[in-house]
Structure formats: C-alpha cells, structure tokens
C-alpha cells in the first residue's frame, strides 16, 4: 500500500507543489496567468493520453517494466522544468511529465485489481487515498515554504528527487502482479475491441464518467483557487497553502469514513451520498460568491465539506468501474477511466478562466463547479439505472 501510495501520490504532488508559486512563475517567465494555468492543463492532457498507451501496454508486458520507464522519464522531465526559458517550453515539459506520470496512476490501480476484488478492493482504495491524500496536503504547504528559501524552480528539484526515490522503491520492492499466463497480446484490433466493449458496458461507463466529471469539478477548484485567493482576497502564498491543506484534510477524512462504512453501506449508496453532499457544498459556494459574503474563512469551511464528500466519490467510483472488469483487462480499463478523468479535469477546469480579463474569479470558478456537480449527479442517476437493467 505504501509503495502504490508513493507512486500515485507523485501526480498530485506534481500538480499541487507549485500552485503557491503561480503568480511568481507568471512574473518570472513574463507570461499571463492563463498561460501559466495552461501548464497544469498540459499535464492533465498528458496524463490522459499517457494512460491510453501505458494501460494496455501493462496488460501485455506486465506492470513493472512500463512503470519503471514512466517513473524514469518523469524524473528527468521534473529536473528539466528547473531550466525552462519560457512558458512555451514549460508547457511542453509539463505535458511530458503528464505522459510519464500516467504510469504511476494507471498501473497502481491495475495492481490493486490484480490482487483484490469487491469490498477488499474498496477497502484498499480507501486506505490508499489516505496515503495519496498526504501529497496534496503537504504539497502546497511544502511549496509555500520552499518559496521562503528559494525560487519556484526549487519545487521541481524536490519533485524530481521524490520521483527518483519512487524509481528505487519500485525497482527493489514492487513485485510483478500480472503473471505471463494472464497477459493479453497487444495488438490494435484486440485493443480496440476491448475499448469498444468497455464503452458499451454501463457498469463501467457509469462510474467512470461520474468520476471524470466529479474530478473536473474538484480540479476547477485546484487549478483556479491559487489565483482567486491571492489576487481577489489578498492571501499570501503561505495562507493559500494553509487553506488548501485544511481542505485536503477534509478529503482524507472522507476517505477514512468511507472505509469505515464498507460492509455496512453499499458502494453505490456511498457514492450517491458523496455526490449529493458535494453538490450541496458547491451550491453554498455559489451563494457566497454571488451574495458578496465570501471570505477566506467561510470559503475554507464550505470547501472542506466539498472535499470531505469527494473522499466518498473518488474511491467508490473507482471501485465500481474497475471491479466490473476481469483482471486481464484491468490495465486498459484503468487507462480508459484515468484518461477520461484527466481529460475532463484538464479541459473543463479551463472554463473558469473564460472571463473578460482571461483570469478566473470566484464567480466564474464556482459557476463552473456548480454545472459540473449537477452533471455528475445526472450521469450517476441516468447511467446507473441502465447498469441496473443490464445486471437484471
């Protein structure tokens, strides 16, 4: 669990570590805030595309080989980010980081499917979320403190060092979880047939789409609130980091309560509760934004509730989607789900920046989040009913 947690935490750490430095990076590279936000979107797109390749590759070649290559490339790209001369090069390197970082995300989920099923898988994913949650919790705090002792480039030096440690841990301590006799030969026709079967399977598509749209809602907050809190409310990088950390405690708490309820409440019901609770919290955020009553303290409190709710959504949607498939296609299923998640997250979150000034505001951010929250509930209800009919 600790090894897989380290692997899957690398992506969130790469996302969150440099968030407090966004204004500084924009000034240093002479780029607009929207251009710097694009580095975040580029990584999300890279994560989405990379999983489409790495997932099926791991079904054919095993888990260890693709994972080691991905972690190695991610390490090199992280150190190169310290040397970028312009925002354009920065965006390109972040895309490479995303493609390589996809290995840790997609293969970790596939390993869980190789080894666990049903409630055991749900329990493992909930525990894994505790480990993963430490990355976004510590990331902004560490990033804010690093800015006190050095420039924003230091964040990527730390990120590269963590990735290098991951490579060593995987090389020496992570065994192969997919035996040769359970591997699938990789060919285009077979891959397309598997993908086509997955996209027609309501048991997979329903939770996968629900996860993707819900993640886009959460990622809108992650990508935009650094600018909103510092530019609109005058928060320092360190205050923003503290707010982000508090909200991440909400995410971790939610995953652990979800883990406690496994065996007591069904997976679908836990997911439904998380979706509804998250939507109610976002409605509260919209009310604060449009009433003019928003402040750092009330915003943090409502964001905490939203993130607590996401602690139910993320592991349960993942469990429902992955557990609906046999282990031999777990890599492809994980890749398709992860690609959808990061493509929606990176693409839809950018809508918050479509304002007259090109900068995200509290109103634009919460409006986008509300729309995505509504869609996630609708997807769960509509596709969930179809999945129930298929099961009958």
What's the pLDDT band for 342 if we cut at 50, 70, 90?
confident
Residue 46, CA distances (Å) to 39, 40, 221, 238 in order: 11, 10, 20, 29
Tell me, what DSSP letter sits at residue 176? -
Number of domains in the chain: 1
Tokens of 285: 């955020």
What is the band of 84 on the pLDDT scale with cuts at 50, 70, 90?
very high
Q: Evaluate whether 369 touches 213 at the Cβ level (below 8 Å).
A: no
Instruction: Count CA atoms within 13 Å of residue 230 on its CB side.
Output: 22
Percent of residues in the chain assigned helix, strand, coil, to nearest 5:
85, 0, 15
Residue with more model confidence, 166 or 345: 166
Look at residue 113 and tell me whether its pLDDT is greater than 90.
no
Question: Span 7-33, mean pLDDT?
Answer: 84
Q: Tell me, what's the pLDDT at 129?
A: 65
pLDDT in tens, 184-218: 777 778 778 888 889 888 889 999 999 999 999 99
Count of positions (residues) in the chain: 392
Res. 311: pLDDT tops 70:
yes
Per-residue buried b or exposed e for 130-143, using 16+ beta carbons within 10 Å of the residue's own CB: bbbbbbbbbbbbbb
Distance CA 100, CA 92 (A): 13
CB-facing half-sphere around the CA of 271: CA atoms within 13 A: 26
Average pLDDT, the chain: 86
Domain that includes residue 200, residue range: 2-175+184-391
The confidence score (pLDDT) of residue 132 equals: 63
* Helices 33-61 and 330-349: angle between axes, nearest 10 degrees: 170
Going by pLDDT thresholds of 50, 70 and 90, the confidence category of residue 140 is confident
Structure tokens at 162: 């963590």
Distance CA 276, CA 297 (A): 23
Look at 145 and 81; give whichever has higher pLDDT: 81
The model's pTM is 0.76
Residue 390 confidence (pLDDT) above 60:
no
| 246-262 residue pLDDT tens | 888 898 899 889 989 98
Mean predicted confidence (pLDDT) in 280-300: 94
pLDDT higher at 182 or 135: 182
Of residues 235, 220, 229, 227, the one with CA closest to residue 358: 227
Residue 133 has pLDDT above 80, yes or no: no
CATH number, domain containing residue 217: 1.20.1250.20
Smallest CA-to-CA distance from 39 within 21, 60, 66 is with 21
Residue 82 has pLDDT above 90, yes or no: yes
Cα–Cα distance between 173 and 230 in angstroms, integer? 42
Contact 365, 302 (CB under 8 A): no
CA distance 371 to 276: 13
- CA 6 distance to own-chain centroid: 14
């Amino acid at each position: 669990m600790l090894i897989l947690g380290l692997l899957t935490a690398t992506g969130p750490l790469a996302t969150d570590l440099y968030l407090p430095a966004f204004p500084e990076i924009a000034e240093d590279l002479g780029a607009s805030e929207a251009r710097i936000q694009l580095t975040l979107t580029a990584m999300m797109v890279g994560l989405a595309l990379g999983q489409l390749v790495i997932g099926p590759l791991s079904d054919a070649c095993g888990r260890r080989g693709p994972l080691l290559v991905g972690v190695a490339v991610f390490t090199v790209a992280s150190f190169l980010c310290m040397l970028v001369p312009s925002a354009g090069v920065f965006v390109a390197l972040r895309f490479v980081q995303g493609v390589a970082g996809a290995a840790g995300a997609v293969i970790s989920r596939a390993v869980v499917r190789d080894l666990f099923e049903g409630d055991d898988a749900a329990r493992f994913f909930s525990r894994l979320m505790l480990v993963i949650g430490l990355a976004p919790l510590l990331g902004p705090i560490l990033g804010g403190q690093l800015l006190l002792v050095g420039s924003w480039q230091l964040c990527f030096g730390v990120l590269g060092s963590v990735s290098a440690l991951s490579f060593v841990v995987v090389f020496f301590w992570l065994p192969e979880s997919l035996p040769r006799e359970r591997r699938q030969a990789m060919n285009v026709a077979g891959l397309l047939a598997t993908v086509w079967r997955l996209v027609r399977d309501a048991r997979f598509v329903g939770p996968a789409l629900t996860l993707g749209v819900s993640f886009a809602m959460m990622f809108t907050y992650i990508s935009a609130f650094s600018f909103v809190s510092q530019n609109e409310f005058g928060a320092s990088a360190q205050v923003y980091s503290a707010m982000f950390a508090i909200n991440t405690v909400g995410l971790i708490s939610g995953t652990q309560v979800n883990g406690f309820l496994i065996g007591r409440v069904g997976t679908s019901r836990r997911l439904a509760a998380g979706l509804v609770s998250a939507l109610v919290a976002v409605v509260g955020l919209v009310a604060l934004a449009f009433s003019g009553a928003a402040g750092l303290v009330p915003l943090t409190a409502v964001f905490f509730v939203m993130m607590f709710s996401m602690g139910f959504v993320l592991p349960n949607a993942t469990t429902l989607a992955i557990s609906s498939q046999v282990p031999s296609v777990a890599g492809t299923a994980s890749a398709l789900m992860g690609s959808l998640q990061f493509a929606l997250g990176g693409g839809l979150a950018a809508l918050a920046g479509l304002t007259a000034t090109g900068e995200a505001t509290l109103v634009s951010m919460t409006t986008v989040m509300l729309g995505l929250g509504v869609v996630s509930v609708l997807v769960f209800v509509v596709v969930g009913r179809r999945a129930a009919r298929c099961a009958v």
